[in-house]
A and B are shown apart, each in its own frame.
Chain A
Amino acid sequence: MARGERDAGECGGQRVISESPKVTDMPPAIETHALTRDFGKLRALDNLDMTVEQGEIFGFLGPNGAGKSTAIRLMLDFIRPTYGYARVMGFDCQADSMEVRRRVGYLPGDIRVYPALTGRETIAFFCEMRGYSAAESGALELAERLQLRLDVKSGTYSKGNRQKLGIVLALMGSPDVLMLDEPSSGLDPLIQHELWTLLREQAARGVTVFFSSHVMSEVEMVCERVAILRQGKLVALEGVAEMKTRAVRHLIARFADEVPPDGTFTFDGVRELRRERDLVELEVQGEVDPVLKALSQHRVVDLVSEQPSLEELLMRFYERERSS
Chain B
Amino acid sequence: MSGDGLVRKTLRDQRGMTIGMSIAGFLVAMLIIALYPQFADQFAEIELPDIYDALFGEVAFAEPAGFIAAEYFGWFPLLVIAIAVIAGTASIASEEGNGTLELLLAEPVTRRALILRKTVGLAASIAIICAVSYAGLVAGRLMIADFDLGYLPLFEATVVMLLISWFFLGLSILGSALFPGRMSAAITVTALIVIAYFSNIAASLVDGLSFLEHAQPFGWADYPATILDGLQVLESALLLGFALAFVAAAVWSFERREIGAVGWPRLRPRVTREAPHAAAKGEGARAGE
Contacts and interface: CB of A to CB of B under 8 A. Distances in A.
Interface residues of chain A: helix, strand, loop or mixed (majority): mixed
Given A78-B258, A113-B100, A125 B263 contact: no
Given A39-B262, A78-B258, A83-B279, A130 B272 contact: no
B109 to A, nearest CB: 6
B19 to A, nearest CB: 15
B26 to A, nearest CB: 25
A270 B275 CA distance: 40
Contact of B110 (A34, A80, A98, A110): A98
Contact of B275 (A80, A83, A104, A130): A83
B17 to A, nearest CB: 13
A131 interface: yes
A101 B271 contact: no
Given A78-B105, A101-B107, A129-B2, A40 B263 contact: yes
B276 A34 contact: yes
Contact of A101 (B106, B273, B276): B106
A301 to B, nearest CB: 56
Contacts of B13: 116
Interface in A91-115: 94, 98, 101-102, 104, 106, 108, 110-114
Interface stretch (B4-12, B32-40, B129-137, B196-204): B4-12
Given A79-B268, A83-B276, A112-B100, A104 B262 contact: no
Nearest to B288: A95
A128 B279 contact: no
A314 B80 CA distance: 59
Contact of B289 (A73, A78, A81, A85): A85
Contacts of A73: 259-260
A80 B271 CA distance: 7
A106 B273 contact: no
A39 B264 CA distance: 10
B118 to A, nearest CB: 13
A76 B106 contact: yes
Contact of B99 (A94, A101, A108, A131): A108
Contacts of A80: 258, 268-271
A11 B158 CA distance: 55
Contacts of B9: 114, 125
Contacts of B270: 80
A81 B289 CA distance: 15
B276 A169 contact: no
Contacts of B6: 129
B5 A113 contact: no
Interface in B59-108: 98-100, 102-108
Contacts of A46: 276
Interface in B225-277: 258-263, 268-277
A129 B271 contact: no
B194 interface: no
Q: Which interface residue of B9, B13, B102, B270 has the most chain A CB atoms within 10 A?
A: B102
A116 to B, nearest CB: 7
A187 B109 CA distance: 30
Interface in B1-53: 1-2, 4-6, 9, 12-13
A130 B271 CA distance: 28
Nearest to A17: B108
Contacts of A102: 108
Interface residues of chain B: helix, strand, loop or mixed (majority): loop
A196 interface: no
Contacts of B12: 116
B257 to A, nearest CB: 10
B5 A82 contact: no
A126 interface: yes
A108 B102 contact: yes
B258 A79 contact: yes
B99 A110 contact: yes
A54 interface: no
Nearest to B4: A128
Contacts of A78: 102, 105, 258-260
A129 B107 contact: yes
Contacts of B258: 78-80
A114 B10 CA distance: 12
A239 interface: no
Contacts of A33: 275
Given A39-B263, A83-B272, A76 B105 contact: yes
Contacts of B269: 80-82
Interface in A125-146: 125-126, 128-131
B1 A131 contact: yes
A39 to B, nearest CB: 7
A129 B109 contact: yes
B276 A36 contact: yes
Contact of A131 (B2, B260, B279): B2
16 contacts: A33-B275, A47-B275, A47-B277, A79-B260, A80-B269, A80-B270, A81-B271, A83-B276, A101-B106, A108-B99, A112-B100, A116-B13, A125-B5, A128-B4, A129-B1, A131-B1
Q: List the 9 closest A-B pairs by CB distance, nearest first.
A: A112-B99, A128-B5, A34-B275, A106-B106, A78-B259, A80-B268, A102-B108, A129-B107, A79-B258
